[in-house]
Amino acid sequence: MLTKLKQKVQLQLTSIAESIHNLGLTPNHVSLLGITFAVLSALTYWQWKLHPFLLILAPLLMLASGLLDALDGAMARLYGEATKFGGFLDSLLDRYADAVILCGIILGGLTEVSWGLAALMGSLLVSYTRARAEAAGVRMESVGLAERAERLILLALASFLSYVWVEALCWAVLVLAILTNLTVVQRAIYFHKASH
């Protein structure tokens, strides 16, 4: 869904990517910064009870991680620095980022454990189904309701709302659990049709 919107902001990403590249950073450096922000976000979710303001800081760190994830690819394309290892590292770190953030939310008691685990499983399988299908030659971009951008935005909005209504994030994780696993089913059906 948001993949189409992502294409419209490529020019803005390119401008930011140029600035980051001028600092001497490579796409792999940006990928590593992205996972660092994701880990900081997870730790902030986990420790939110120390101060409710952390429910504002955690999603900001998560969104920064998501922005860096978009920038590493933009940099790689812009400067001809795309490599097989870079693509592999980016994808691998994205999965760790998704998992660690949901673990932080679960450990912080911000959702039901079963809902959090279902959302975690669904999030990882959304990515897996795309990778597996594309390895078989079937494009999966924009197939399904809960791609990575949608998942980050849902969690961020619910986190900001949870500053005044703590249960907001709990319910958002349930919605995420449903949508991610529905997306897996959508992709399986799409792949079945496309591969016959």
Return the active site residues: 94
- Residues 143-162 as b or e (16 or more Cβ within 10 Å = b): bbebbbbbbbebbbebbbbb
Dist CA 139 CA 69 (whole Å): 20
Dist CA 61 CA 85 (whole Å): 26
- Residues 59-72 as b or e (16 or more Cβ within 10 Å = b): bebbbbbbebbbbb
Dist CA 66 CA 60 (whole Å): 10
The token pair that represents 135 in the structure block = 């390895």
| φ, ψ dihedrals at 3, nearest 5° | -60, -35
Tell me the DSSP string of 15-36.
HHHHHHHHTT--HHHHHHHHHH
Dist CA 72 CA 86 (whole Å): 9
